[in-house]
Amino acid sequence: MSKLNVDTIEPEGASTTLTLGASGDTVALGTGAGVNFRSSRNMIINGAMQVSQRGTSTTTAGFIVDRIETVVSAVDELVCTYSQDSSGADGFANSYKINVDTAESAIAVDEYQRVTYKIEAQDCQGLKYGNASAESVTLSFHVKSNVTGTYAFSMVGDGGIRLIGGTYTISSSATWEKKTLTFTGDTAGIINDDVGTGLTLYFWLIAGTNFTSGSTNTSWMANTTASLAYGHAVNLGSTINNYWQVTGIQLEIGSVATPFEHKTYGQELAACKRYLYAFRKDGGGSTAIGTGIISGTTTISFIHLTLPVEMRTTPTLTVTDPTSSTISEGAADRAVTSQSIGPATKNNCLLSVTHAAGTAAGTTVRYSLTDTILLFSAEL
């Protein structure tokens, strides 16, 4: 049995086709400078919105679906629900949804709301930015909103000093639509080979004139605030129950949008854990997640935790419901009052747990979670 592996097919003309066997049947692959069928071609982690380690819904702007951040600035009356929604375009079980709970119809010049995705710099090296051979990239995504009109998208590189952008139009209310934008490679800007931010993607939902009054940004240019959301012409926050949903985000090298690269949940979860890892209980009751010893004060225990993957940087810790956990010394349980991160690396850490007094320093203890969630974050 023979097997054909196809990476990239270069077209001779305007259209690319693949001929199958002696039958002469052809499959249309698209048009452009090249069609990319490499595995791991999608530069976006969790583009299908499968992973949401922090939970499924919040009214606080920031992260809920892994790797997807919403940033709101100066929009003081706006209240939204941000959620992993269990619906999506055809072929997608989930989406990221923003629903307006309290409206803000009058947008001041300095107000904005945008959905942000940051790509680690060392993962951008294949773009060849800063060279004459810098690669074009194509962004594709599925979007749905009851607010029709023109939305801005922009991408920032080279440590935040280079900008390119464009717009897309939502034509039909409450209907999933696929959008595609292609951007030339940046021959002038560079992206460092490190764990910092290489590219930042912005999906604009609200933008005051401070962000829309500049010049067209469809070619790489010096980043200016006034051009970041150039062309944006809608206000998602204008009315209660306005909403915007997105799924199937893909950014790939080349000028053609290939079909979305679906990955397993396990693959996406492992990739997300480089930037966030949630220690939480598994099932009912409580779950022991680590062991350690009581310190000399007898009211603090140090618990060693091994992180499942190497994180991007040494993580920071956020604790939800800190008292819903337990330090156990033999058969005796000690009530917990707080947790903090002690000495840590990208691979492991000591957790400092404050609790009711134990019997003796050096006693072995185990640490169990009930409703407490430990969020170790190394987000860009």
27-43 residue pLDDT tens: 455 444 445 566 789 99
Q: Over the range 207-218, which residues count as b (16 or more CB within 10 Å of their CB) and which as e?
A: bbebbbebeebe
User: What pLDDT was estimated at residue 17?
Assistant: 53
Query: Token digits for 142?
Result: 């599925």
Residues 6+ apart with CB under 8 A from 27: 17, 18, 20
| Regions of the chain short of the pLDDT cut 50 | 1-15, 19-20, 26-27, 30-34
Could you give the CA distance from residue 20 to residue 22 in angstroms, rounded to a whole number? Answer: 7
Dihedral pair phi/psi, residue 238, rounded to 5°: -70, -30
User: What pLDDT was estimated at residue 35?
Assistant: 55
User: What pLDDT was estimated at residue 39?
Assistant: 75
Is the pTM for the entire model greater than 0.95? Answer: no
User: What pLDDT was estimated at residue 9?
Assistant: 45
User: What pLDDT was estimated at residue 4?
Assistant: 47
User: What pLDDT was estimated at residue 223?
Assistant: 98
The H or E element containing residue 269 is helix 265-272
User: What pLDDT was estimated at residue 186?
Assistant: 98
